[in-house]
Amino acid sequence: MPVPSRFSKSFTGLLHASLAFVLFLSVTAAHAQKDEALYAQGEKLFKGNCAACHKPDKDMTGPALKGAKARWEGKGDIYAWVKNSSAYLATGNSYAKDLFAKWNNSPMTAQALTDAEIDAVLHYVDNYAPPAPPQGGKAPTEAPVEEPSTAWQWLLVLGLLFLVVVLSLGGVKHQLGNAVREVEGKEPLPETGFWGGIKRWAWANKGWASVIGLLLVVFLIVQAWDWAFNIGVYGGDAVEHYKPEQPIKFNHTIHAGKAEKGNLQINCVYCHSSAEKSKHAGIPSANVCMNCHQAVNESQRNPWSTEEIKKIYAATGWDGKAYTGPQQPIQWVKVHNLPDHVAFSHATHVSVGKIECQKCHGPIDEQMDVAEQWSPLTMGWCIQCHNETEVQMAGNGYYDEIHRRLKETPMGNKELRKYLEDEKITVKELGGWECAKCHY
């Protein structure tokens, strides 16, 4: 039952918390000169801006940043470098030039930080202490989230419970009856088994029996209906979202997830670079992966992933120093598949409609270790959103013009005026329900 286990969970939680606190105290004591506020600010900035390429204490795409400030002392302007390394290289500073050559001429992206913010980051990396390993086994995890059950499932469960209670009452009655017969010296009534019990009860309680029977029939019909409608639909309310196994276990949570949770927070369009300007969002080529994975050949969190990263090397012919081998493009399995007769454009929705990727693809950066089809991709799904969503008017010349013309329409033109009554124009009102817009 949940009560004692929840109690023991919160108790171990408390134990872990106090252990962590003691540990925290000893760590802070060891770093007496560390400024906590500055450290926290630096950590946040580092995770948000630098962690995709740097680690404080290990080389990655860029060098370990611990001690960088000291390394630059008297040799160059580290602030100017961080703000715009290409511009700084152009000044001809020799330390910067050597560094750039040492790192395979892979440029560091310009960072829009102030001097004070750079100081915070450098303070953080210089005082960085790796997180202590969890004490006493597993760290307390969040309580599992219960699957939402539908009302129907609950009705069925209640119905079954009711049946069990009624049957056992029936059984008790049967036994009591037999006890009385025994006292009176008569033969006991024959045992009729489970179904016999049900029949006997149903015969005696016709009203209840028909109510339960009706509920069961309705339940079965609803299940069959659901099933029939979800044939070939893999997202939305369908029981199982389509989630094919991929040739490389690429993980969206690690790469695109929030920096606060220790993920890399790479922008979606860094990899899906055509989403803003063309029909297809596109899947990145292995060269894009190599921007980082030339240097990152293992993952801190999953030891098995070295094998997965090696597959990127196989695809690009990387031997650890140069591209010498043959190239074999990675055969990603397509997750989303609209039928050929439907026209869908990412640019229209992402750049013009200003719709976030997650609105259609779900929390891919938060919980999808494996990419899956989140939305049903049915015609009803497209149309429903076109009916609900207002087009973004602000700063969009094309629609400003339409808006102006609609406003000038005489009151008599009901068809057009009604669009303006609520001062909102939905996609549908601009033709988002016309068959030809979506069908070739």
Name residues contacting ligand HEC, limited to 68-127 (CB under 6 A).
Answer: 68, 71-72, 78, 82, 85, 99-100, 103, 106-109, 111, 113, 121
Provide, rounded to whole angstroms, the least separation between the CB of residue 427 and ligand HEC: 4
Provide, rounded to whole angstroms, the least separation between the CB of residue 390 and ligand HEC: 8
CB 96 within 8 A of CB 88: yes
365: contact with ligand HEC by CB under 6 A: yes
259: contact with ligand HEC by CB under 6 A: no
308: contact with ligand HEC by CB under 6 A: yes
- Among residues 190, 85, 64, which one has the least CA distance to residue 128? 64
Torsion sign over Cα 109, 113, 116, 117: negative
Under rule CB under 6 A, which residues in 271-290 are in contact with ligand HEC? 271-272, 275, 280-284, 288-289
Q: Residues, the chain, total?
A: 440
Measure the CA–CA gap between 78 and 71, rounded to whole angstroms.
9
Measure the CA–CA gap between 425 and 403, rounded to whole angstroms.
8
Tell me the window of 160-168, 189-197, 317-325, 344-352 that interacts with ligand HEC (CB under 6 A).
344-352
Provide, rounded to whole angstroms, the least separation between the CB of residue 322 and ligand HEC: 17
Tell me the window of 14-22, 66-74, 133-141, 200-208 that interacts with ligand HEC (CB under 6 A).
66-74
362: contact with ligand HEC by CB under 6 A: no
Provide, rounded to whole angstroms, the least separation between the CB of residue 241 and ligand HEC: 12
Provide, rounded to whole angstroms, the least separation between the CB of residue 206 and ligand HEC: 45
Cβ atoms within 10 Å of 309's Cβ, excluding its own? 16
Hey, what amino acid is at 333? V
Provide, rounded to whole angstroms, the least separation between the CB of residue 376 and ligand HEC: 8
Tell me the window of 59-67, 127-135, 197-205, 400-408 that interacts with ligand HEC (CB under 6 A).
59-67
246: contact with ligand HEC by CB under 6 A: yes
Measure the CA–CA gap between 113 and 98, rounded to whole angstroms.
24
Under rule CB under 6 A, which residues in 173-232 are in contact with ligand HEC? none
> Nearer to ligand HEC by C-beta: 178 or 378?
378
CB 309 within 8 A of CB 378: no
428: contact with ligand HEC by CB under 6 A: no
Question: How many of the chain's residues bind ligand HEC (CB under 6 A)?
Answer: 106
Cα radius of gyration (the chain): 33
Provide, rounded to whole angstroms, the least separation between the CB of residue 132 and ligand HEC: 18
Under rule CB under 6 A, which residues in 12-51 are in contact with ligand HEC? 49-50
Under rule CB under 6 A, which residues in 131-170 are in contact with ligand HEC? none
Measure the CA–CA gap between 15 and 60, rounded to whole angstroms.
36
Question: Among 255, 259, 294, 425, which residue sits at the site for ligand HEC (rule: CB under 6 A)?
Answer: 255
Contacts for 346-351: CB closer than 8 Å, 24+ residues apart: 346/274, 346/275, 346/276, 346/278, 346/279, 346/280, 346/281, 347/275, 347/276, 347/277, 347/278, 347/279, 350/275, 350/276, 351/276, 351/277
